[in-house]
Structure 1
């Protein structure tokens, strides 16, 4: 039986990477001076992100953290 071998490996690989990036939509960002932010970690679910955010606030009480839904990553993939 003939097989369809007319596919591009790099295209499939980039689609797999894009899908993997879309899984981690929740992020914890540390707020810095001058309206800057640094993404600390990404999570698949909000509850995971909330738990880590609570722990970070306990460990580093002087820092400002915020939980964000990173929808720009989804738009960049499309």
Structure 2
């Protein structure tokens, strides 16, 4: 099975809505929602470092 990132969302509800549309348009294809927690951690690190620079 090949994985392909189709879209990225910040809110689960947005991702689920998009998934419903994909399932209607491409019913024979398997789709899944995957959460990337590493991206959130990197964003938190960037915000922390910017805050430290301001102080």
What CA deviation, in whole Å up to 9, does each residue of 1:4-40 have, x standing for no partner? xxxxxxxxxxxxxxxxxxxxxxxxxxxxx2xx31110
CA distance in 2, matches of 1:70, 1:58: 25
Q: Flag the structure with higher helix content.
A: 2
Structure-2 residue corresponding to 1:40: 6
TM-superposed deviation, 1:68: 1.2
Q: Which runs of 4+ in 1 moved over 4 A?
A: none
The answer to which structure, 1 or 2, has the higher relative contact order (CA under 8 A, 6+ apart) is 1
TM-superposed deviation, 1:57: 0.3
Is the radius of gyration larger for structure 1 or structure 2? 1
Structure-1 residue corresponding to 2:35: 69
**What's the TM-score, normalizing by structure 2?**
0.66
TM-superposed deviation, 1:44: 1.3
**What's the TM-score, normalizing by structure 1?**
0.49
TM-superposed deviation, 1:74: 3.1
Unmatched segments (≥5 aa) in structure 1:
1-32
Q: CA RMSD in A?
A: 1.3
TM-superposed deviation, 1:65: 0.6
How many residue pairs are counted as aligned between the two chains? 43
